[in-house]
A = this chain, B = another copy of it.
Amino acid sequence: MVPPDLKEKNEIGMSPYQLHFRGEKRTDRVHLRLIDYGPETLQERELDSVDDVLALKDSPTVSWLNVDGVHDAKTMEAIARGLGFETLILADAMNTRSRPKIAEYANCLFVSIKMLREEDASEELKVEHLSLVVTEHMLISFQEEMGDVFNPVRERIRAQKKRIRGSGPDYLMFALLDIVVDNYIYIIGKLGDKIEDLEDGLLEDPSKTVIEEINAYKRELNNLRKNILPAREVILNLSKLDSEFIDEEKNAVHFRELVDNINQAAEATSNYREILSDQLTIYHTTISSKLNDIMKFLTVFSVIFIPLTFIAGIYGTNFDVLPELHFRYSYYVMWGIMISVAVGMLVYFKRNKWL
């Protein structure tokens, strides 16, 4: 796991205005997808170049430009130039290792957040740096690669849902953020299920793999938390923001909804953290109490034989005068004594609850 917040030596002191992709090297082509919609109209297509979108810049319809791939400085520059954004905005979108943030500019609002999604086939968790730029009539979303969690929104647009088709890019932004947060909750819930399943095997059969699972889940949960807590910060700041690109009155309900959801996500993570930590304690307690039982049993076992072996040792000595050796029933008497001693000790141990 490469730590996500490292700085390469050659990146130190770089001007914040320089468009420089910070992340793993990529070479795949950048995809541009456009959905342009109004209450009555809808067009959806793949773009070959950024120029195609410029015409829509001032049209009253909502244009959602989705950019899959932020590693190509040239495309990014074309977008910045074409739409009149400051380079700093796109520099933030390209720095996929940066923390979620929110920033207001003269002609747009910038929001970045980490998008978590489960790859359909492999159920592997993908973390992507998602940046949204909202202008008066447009929303541009930047993702690191193809594949996202936004299909329900696309479906809602296609299904001509009145609310989304009749609202501006601010509503679209809420819809997208809402899905991102919904996915947080879904992913935490799935991890939480696995964590709660652990509990059953914990008391009965605390094998060594359990502790490794607990540690793995803990790390996974920390990983989620590192993404969710800054997201909460961003969303809380968003709800306090007084921006011209968001119609606050119309969206008050969505703000509240979003804050509620992200809070629920954050609470769930800390709940599962506590559960994991309790499980760890239970594991250690069970293991050590089991070991104690074994050691106690073995110690008691060997202690019982100690006086018996001693007695046998006595009658193994070669003294000329050792009267007991010569009585007729001595040997049987010795056995009798031995058995009484052993039984006596067992009774004593039982009574003291040592067994």
Chain A residues engaging chain B, CB cutoff 8 angstroms: 1, 3, 5-9, 11-17, 88, 98-99, 101, 103, 149-153, 156, 161, 163-164, 175, 178-179, 182-183, 185-186, 189, 192-193, 196, 203, 208, 211-212, 215, 218, 222, 226, 253-254, 256-257, 260, 263-264, 267-268, 271, 274, 278, 282, 284-285, 287, 289, 291-292, 294-296, 298-303, 305-310, 312-323, 325-326, 328-331, 334, 352, 354
| CB-CB under 8 A for A11 and B182, given A260-B101, A289-B287, A302-B303 | yes
A264 near B5 with CB under 8 A, answer: yes
> In the complex, which residues of chain B have a beta carbon less than 8 angstroms from the beta carbon of A98?
260, 264
**Identity of the chain B residue whose Cβ is nearest the Cβ of A105 in the assembled complex:** B253
Closest to A314 in B: B312
The answer to whether A12 touches B296 (Cβ under 8 A) is no
Question: Which label, helix, strand, loop or mixed, suits the secondary structure of the A interface?
Answer: helix
Contact B301 A298 (CB under 8 A): no
* B residues in contact with A320, CB < 8 Å: 325-326, 330
Assess whether A178 is in contact with B13, with CB atoms less than 8 Å apart.
yes
Choice from B3, B13, B192, B302 contacting A193 with Cβ under 8 Å: B3
Contact A319 B325 (CB under 8 A): yes
Q: Closest approach, in angstroms, between the C-beta of A156 and any C-beta of chain B? A: 7
- Given A7-B186, A222-B274, A303-B301, also A318-B318 (CB < 8 A): yes
Give chain B residues whose Cβ lies under 8 Å from the Cβ of A302: 302-303, 306
